[in-house]
Chain A
Amino acid sequence: MAVGTPFHPRTSVLNKSLNWRHWSGYFSAGCYDDFVQPEYAAIRNKAALIDVSPLYKYWVEGTGATDLIQRVFTRDITKCSPMQAIYTPWCDSDGKVMQEGTVFRLDTNVYQVNAAEPAMRWLQLNSEGLAVTISDRSAPVAALALQGPTSRKILNECFKGDASGLRFFHLTEGTIGGMPVTISRTGYTGDLGYEIWISADCAITVWDTLLDVGRRLGITPCGILAMDVARVEAGFILIDVDYISAERALIPEHRASPYELGLGWAVDFNKEDFVGREALVAESERGSVRSVVGICIDWEPLDEIHAGDNLMPDLPQLACREPVPVYAGKDQVGRVTTRCWSTLLKKYIGIATVQARYASYGTAVEMELTVNFRRERVPAEMVQLPHFRPERMRA
């Protein structure tokens, strides 16, 4: 049975649609209202307040902490100063991605690792012989994502500390409503935004303060369905949707390397021994067989196919996670793993995994679609991710 997050006393009152999703054993609001659009619009035009407490959070501390982080993650943490963050995948020793997430360097030898799935066992396995303590603070630490163009102004009004100058992927500490918080300039929407990390017992005060101060600036409690659309636009992959974790893959072909996920930039061979290094060196020399890439479905043919049946194009208003085949000529060359209608871009977009030689931008392919209960193929084009990235995200 799922349980409420530390914000449940507030979110349960607001969630009039009773649209609850299960996320890592917690009740998570899918959409507070009957429609996703207003919540999505808040992400892009005002500010959305999203309860992301179900994320797994681990603290890694001790003189061996940096060694452990260097060993587990593919990026070089020594390039990251205290109160800075990185986004990075981590791999098994075959160089296949187990998860990707953010790592906060809170102090020289104190790290916060944020993961979508449990990672304790893996961190512990890798800590053999290192002077390090790893603690699971998933439950005692609550988290909120404040995402959208007005998020900075909202923080400026209620955060005691310096948020206005906080740079992309940096951290700061201060208080909100008198409660100590850590703020990271990170998020999963591809917009200007922050994530706020709070001790669970202070969670309600912080929530109330943000909503109170933010009302004038359009703060809107937002469910995870709207966030899912935003992350597709932003080109952010999702574990067990756009790729299968090496931990969960039932057959070897189901696993994916960082290169295949478009995360080759996050693999740093300048550091010594990290898990999967040898396999990744080999793959970087050999080249990868698959690639994650953006896909954009052509509007005109889509419209025409539907018109042939006297129908209007049926567009996914929510991110659809049902994978569909991608074809080049007669052959299936991949799959679209997430797709949605972007109301912002007025485009039918998606995230696809295709054979490497079909991954270059502009390649014409076809995506399978069911129209009037009939399988059809609609022309589509490989495009660069992200689909949408406003300058304000980093500015």
Chain B
Amino acid sequence: MSGCYDVAVVGGGHNGLVVAAYLAQAGQSVVVLEKGPTVGGMASTIEVAPGYRASSCFQSAETFSPTISRELNLSGHGLEVSRPRGTSVVAVDGQWLLFDGSGHLTGNGSQMVSIADRAAIAELERLLYRTVRALAPLYQAALPELQDLGASDTLDLLRIGWRLRRLGRRDMREAIRFLPMSIRDVAEERFESHILGAAIAGLGLQGGCNGPYAPGTAFVALHHQIQNPRPLFSGPVFVKGGLGCLSDALSAAAQSAGAEVRTEAEVKLIEAADGLLQGVTLCNGEHVEASIVVSDLDPQRTLLSLVDSRKLAPEFINAVSTIRARGGVGVVSFALDGIPDPPEGSAEVSLSGRVQIGASVVEQERAFDAMQCGELAEKPFLQLTIPTLADPGLAPDGKHVATAWVLGVPDNLDSLEESVASGIETVLPGFTSRVVGCAVATPSDIEERYGATNGCLFGVDVSLDQALFLRPLPGWYRYNTPLRGLYLCGSSTHAGGGITGLPGRNAARRIIEDLKAGKVG
């Protein structure tokens, strides 16, 4: 069996589905080739134990682009999302700092946080919001070609420059200063409260493998805001049925536009001859013909494993193989026959959003120190979500699932679940006894299951030196590759790093431009 399409998309992750939907809408015949039994990859829904379901890696759709939701009519394709659920941070002494879904302090927050700190939160939100507004247009499209600036590209750049300039002298200085800072320094210089500092620091550590003392972690916090500006602590947005339902909705949107979505179709080789893409060969030997191939996989997996490296310049291969893509995040989902009572003095709301366990900046840093030494910290740094509080359908009646992101997980760790459960136990006594099943994904599991190099959740690390014109690597920030007709659209590309869909949308627009210009196809 073989097929012939205009475009073959390698990998049915959310960006692969987005690119397929937009290209199919533009009239291209598109096939999505996903190796797993369902689409979504790191944004799919898995079974934790019989009757218990949870999102596979990513837990929340808070960063997903509202523009894409609208343009692809995802609600019409079955997507239902919760309102933002807020953030909680558990202090060392057992005190809980709570933010509601609007990002406002709630519960006993007023006793814990000074007026000055409250003003400092508002001030930081204001600065980030203005900066994000200035930079957001850069994320909404492929970046202009710097080598060969056309009139419209020049205009785009000038517009960005003008927006930055309009921040005013003080805010522009602060915004520029903010980017390379460590999130710890941001917390230190702006906030009195240690627990608030830890909450701020948590924003800069989302899924990376740098501790809060690492320079550039402030940028990470900003990066996760740019894609969908929102209050700093508004917390997660759950998808009904788990994040897999977001991918299913994208898949439905792509299919209704005419794309074909095939699962259990693992690509073995991307073929090119005489500088032109020929299509792909699947692991079962089937050949799928296409003159354009878009890979949702990371650049290392795509260009070093799926392409005959002789088609690429050795200097380029070297650049690809030295991109930083690190794991460091483990995901542990627990099936629970109930949740322990929330701690005294706080309502159930404290558990319904994202609960950060590891409430001092120093403890957070130690978790990453331990990882560097190949160990899991004694007190692991956890971000816990209990999606069943918003979406009870994920578990049998009265039962729950809870998923912990464990930050600072070394490679090749055997047992993660026990340390994580006992970490949760310290702040939620009785948790361990409620566990009836669990599903674990260490960085190496993530690499194996989803083809993510080193288990990196973002394709390549999110950092200043791998952002914008440098993402995924210098000179190749416009979704194309040295092989004409081969494009990247994954999280590793510009505007990616998290569940946003923007790389897929930008890549699709870039490909359509190239098709119109006769550069491919």
Q: Show the binding face of A for B, using Cβ within 8 Å.
A: 67, 71, 92-93, 122, 125-126, 128-130, 273, 275
Q: Which residues of A contact B317 (CB under 8 A)?
A: 125-126, 128
Top-4 shortest CB links A-B = A93-B313, A128-B309, A125-B314, A129-B309
Cα A71 to Cα B317 with chains together (Å): 14
Cα A259 to Cα B318 with chains together (Å): 27
* A292: min CB distance to chain B, Å: 25
Which residue of the partner chain, among B304, B308, B314, B321, contacts A126 with CB atoms under 8 Å?
Answer: B314
| B304 & A128 in contact (Cβ 8 Å cutoff) | yes
* B99: min CB distance to chain A, Å: 48
**Residue contacts A-B, CB under 8 angstroms, 14 given:** A67-B310, A71-B310, A92-B313, A92-B315, A93-B313, A93-B314, A93-B316, A122-B314, A125-B318, A128-B304, A128-B314, A129-B308, A130-B309, A273-B311
Q: Which residues of B contact A122 (CB under 8 A)?
A: 314
| A273 & B316 in contact (Cβ 8 Å cutoff) | no
| B310 & A273 in contact (Cβ 8 Å cutoff) | yes
Cα A125 to Cα B313 with chains together (Å): 9
B290-304 CB contact bits vs A (8 Å, 1 = yes)?
A: 000000000000001
Q: How large is the interface on B (under 10, 10 to 19, 20 to 34, 35 or more residues)?
A: 10 to 19
* Nearest neighbor of A273 in chain B, beta-carbon distance: B310
Known: A93-B316, A128-B317. 5 other contacts (CB 8 A): A125-B314, A125-B317, A128-B321, A273-B311, A275-B314
Consensus secondary structure, chain B interface: helix
Q: Show the binding face of B for A, using Cβ within 8 Å.
A: 304, 308-311, 313-318, 321
Cα A129 to Cα B321 with chains together (Å): 12
Q: Which residues of B contact A128 (CB under 8 A)?
A: 304, 309, 314, 317, 321
* Nearest neighbor of B311 in chain A, beta-carbon distance: A273
Q: Which residues of A contact B316 (CB under 8 A)?
A: 93
Cα A92 to Cα B314 with chains together (Å): 8
* A360: min CB distance to chain B, Å: 34
Cα A287 to Cα B314 with chains together (Å): 25
Q: Which residues of A contact B321 (CB under 8 A)?
A: 128
* Nearest neighbor of A275 in chain B, beta-carbon distance: B314
* Nearest neighbor of B317 in chain A, beta-carbon distance: A128
Cα A205 to Cα B29 with chains together (Å): 72
Cα A92 to Cα B316 with chains together (Å): 11
Cα A122 to Cα B308 with chains together (Å): 17
* B308: min CB distance to chain A, Å: 7
Q: Which residues of A contact B304 (CB under 8 A)?
A: 128-129
* Nearest neighbor of B308 in chain A, beta-carbon distance: A129
Q: Which residues of B contact A126 (CB under 8 A)?
A: 314, 317
Cα A261 to Cα B459 with chains together (Å): 43
| B309 & A275 in contact (Cβ 8 Å cutoff) | no
* A62: min CB distance to chain B, Å: 15
Query: Beyond A125-B318, A128-B321, is A275–B308 a contact (Cβ under 8 Å)?
Result: no
* Nearest neighbor of B313 in chain A, beta-carbon distance: A93
* B482: min CB distance to chain A, Å: 9
* Nearest neighbor of B321 in chain A, beta-carbon distance: A128
Q: Which residues of B contact A125 (CB under 8 A)?
A: 314-315, 317-318
* Nearest neighbor of B482 in chain A, beta-carbon distance: A93
* Nearest neighbor of A70 in chain B, beta-carbon distance: B310
Q: Which residues of A contact B311 (CB under 8 A)?
A: 273
Cα A275 to Cα B311 with chains together (Å): 9
Cα A67 to Cα B308 with chains together (Å): 12
Q: Which residues of B contact A93 (CB under 8 A)?
A: 313-316
Q: Which residues of B contact A129 (CB under 8 A)?
A: 304, 308-310
Cα A92 to Cα B315 with chains together (Å): 8
- Best-buried of A71, A129, A130 by chain B (most CB within 10 Å): A129
Q: Which residues of A contact B309 (CB under 8 A)?
A: 128-130
Cα A129 to Cα B300 with chains together (Å): 12
- Best-buried of B310, B316, B317 by chain A (most CB within 10 Å): B310
* B179: min CB distance to chain A, Å: 31
Cα A71 to Cα B314 with chains together (Å): 10
Cα A92 to Cα B318 with chains together (Å): 13
* A337: min CB distance to chain B, Å: 27
Q: Which residues of B contact A71 (CB under 8 A)?
A: 310
Q: Which residues of B contact A92 (CB under 8 A)?
A: 313-315
* Nearest neighbor of B275 in chain A, beta-carbon distance: A278
* B261: min CB distance to chain A, Å: 29
Cα A129 to Cα B317 with chains together (Å): 11
* Nearest neighbor of B305 in chain A, beta-carbon distance: A129
Cα A128 to Cα B304 with chains together (Å): 8
* B481: min CB distance to chain A, Å: 14
* Nearest neighbor of B304 in chain A, beta-carbon distance: A128
* Nearest neighbor of A92 in chain B, beta-carbon distance: B315
Q: Which residues of B contact A67 (CB under 8 A)?
A: 310
* Nearest neighbor of A122 in chain B, beta-carbon distance: B314
Cα A155 to Cα B293 with chains together (Å): 60
* A276: min CB distance to chain B, Å: 8
* A124: min CB distance to chain B, Å: 9
- Best-buried of B304, B316, B318 by chain A (most CB within 10 Å): B318
Cα A71 to Cα B312 with chains together (Å): 11
Q: Which residues of B contact A130 (CB under 8 A)?
A: 309
Cα A92 to Cα B317 with chains together (Å): 12
Cα A166 to Cα B304 with chains together (Å): 43
Cα A73 to Cα B308 with chains together (Å): 18
Cα A395 to Cα B315 with chains together (Å): 42
* B255: min CB distance to chain A, Å: 35
Cα A122 to Cα B310 with chains together (Å): 13
Cα A341 to Cα B315 with chains together (Å): 42
Q: Which residues of B contact A275 (CB under 8 A)?
A: 313-314
